[in-house]
Amino acid sequence: MILVVNAGSSSIKFRLFDTSEKQPKDILDGLAERITIDGIVSFKYEGTKYKFEVDLPNHEVAVDFILKKLVEMKIIKSAEAIKAVGFRIVHGGTISESSVISTEVFNTIKDAVKLAPLHNPGAITAIEAVKKVMPNANLVACFDTAYHQTLNQEQYLYAVPYEWYEKHGVRKYGFHGISYQYITQQLANNLNKDLNKVNAIICHLGNGASIACIKEGKSFDTTMGLTPLAGVMMGTRSGDIDPSIIEYICNELKITVKEATSILNKQSGLLGMSGETSDMRDITNGYKQNKPNFIRSLNKYSQVAADYIIRFANLIGHDIDAIVFTAGIGENSETTREEILKRLPLLDIELDSKANEVDYDESKVISTKNSKIPVIVMRTNEELMICLDTIKLIK
């Protein structure tokens, strides 16, 4: 058994995989939330939902509670049945692949707190908790940044003093790498192609969103930067803006840089532009009802995504295997996909409107046979990717 953990400062998402067969199977999906506030642990097992209200003063108590519940319910024989725990870590600095959590790796995750202050501290606390509660388990870290370490300097450097990069690590790191790694592997399988020959543009459009340019099976460029604030427009994040806006709006509104940055992270994007919601379901509904605030939001969202797709198409050249849509919006919003694709006249894409609307299991082609580039929707599975990397590392 392998446990996959995605922890925040007050929550732990967990998924248990049975790894006794060749293909790992997820058997339980759960969430411990409101840690340090009060505490709820819930999970789904064999189609039934379970919920426990329990005092969770810290992550350690939460991990201990989860393990004891799994044993008590005979889902696992004992805590030792879990051979390894794979952690999703947002920022791994310049670590280029999933790694066993040695002291050195753990210190690098700690050093990256200043680059990902909202994300890495929760993961660190969870690693420490699991170490205490499960001293015999192998611990593996899978990073959202690692997959993009193949970018070359033209892509990852900013045009700022070079010292900022050398001394302070100011560079593009990129995120959603676990998802991109998974989708690229799936794409290679689907196309029956060697992984190192896959060229694709992958649009990971969830509440957080980014796009990656995959050239010869590796990340060649991506839209997020030093932090997940950069790139395309998102649910509540602005994506790219003129950096001078920050000083200007701080003076206008008499707010601090920290406050302005928080607005760019939490009150911008679809939420900021619509003034109502960050949820793409509401945006597309309002768009269909001709509401101006939803029209401007979806138009901007689609245009920015299309602008990056054409830029990445130019980086790949002529041999593009596919444009892939994934994550919450990419997988489910046919309106958003259509709006983005219709803004790419140079790519000669022909959308199959019927296919775009019909539901699917794992993946589906939504372009016609005449389309110069195939367009595919594909369900991402970051937890399975973490499980597979964990298996590889503990063998």
Which residues are designated catalytic? Answer: 144
Closest CA to 232 of 206, 251, 253: 206
The single residue listed with the structure tokens 């929550």 is: 11
Task: Please indicate if the annotation marks 285 as binding a ligand.
Answer: no
Task: Please indicate if the annotation marks 189 as binding a ligand.
Answer: no
Distances (CA, A) of 226 to 36, 159, 267, 337: 30, 13, 20, 27
Strand 48-53 to 200-205 pairing: unpaired
Task: Please indicate if the annotation marks 47 as binding a ligand.
Answer: no
Backbone dihedral angles phi then psi of residue 372, each to the nearest 5 degrees: -65, -35
- Using CB atoms, what's the residue nearest to ligand AMP? 328
Strand 375-378 to 84-89 pairing: unpaired
Task: Please indicate if the annotation marks 329 as binding a ligand.
Answer: yes
Q: Least distance (Å) from ligand AMP to the CB of residue 329?
A: 4
Binding region for ligand AMP (CB under 6 A): 206-207, 235, 279-281, 284, 327-329, 332-333
Which is closer to ligand AMP, CB of 11 or CB of 150? 11
Task: Please indicate if the annotation marks 206 as binding a ligand.
Answer: yes
Q: Least distance (Å) from ligand AMP to the CB of residue 357?
A: 11
Which is closer to ligand AMP, CB of 108 or CB of 284? 284
Closest CA to 211 of 189, 188, 228, 194: 228
Angle at which helix 120-133 crosses helix 59-72, to 10 degrees, equals 50
With vertex at residue 229, the alpha carbon angle to CA 196 and CA 303, rounded to the nearest 5 degrees, is: 75
Residue 112 per-residue DSSP state: G
Task: Please indicate if the annotation marks 382 as binding a ligand.
Answer: yes
Which is closer to ligand AMP, CB of 127 or CB of 201? 201
Which is closer to ligand AMP, CB of 66 or CB of 329? 329
Q: Least distance (Å) from ligand AMP to the CB of residue 253?
A: 27
CB 58 within 8 A of CB 129: yes
Q: Least distance (Å) from ligand AMP to the CB of residue 358?
A: 13
Q: Least distance (Å) from ligand AMP to the CB of residue 154?
A: 30
Q: Least distance (Å) from ligand AMP to the CB of residue 6?
A: 12
Report the distance separating Cα 245 and Cα 185, nearest Å.
40
With vertex at residue 336, the alpha carbon angle to CA 332 and CA 340, rounded to the nearest 5 degrees, is: 130
Task: Please indicate if the annotation marks 208 as binding a ligand.
Answer: yes
Retrieve residue 365's tokens: 């082609």
Which is closer to ligand AMP, CB of 177 or CB of 328? 328
Identity of the residue numbered 122: G
Identity of the residue numbered 382: E
Which is closer to ligand AMP, CB of 231 or CB of 328? 328
The single residue listed with the structure tokens 């046979």 is: 369
Annotated binding-site positions for ATP: 13, 204-208, 279-281, 328-332
Annotated binding-site positions for Mg(2+): 6, 382
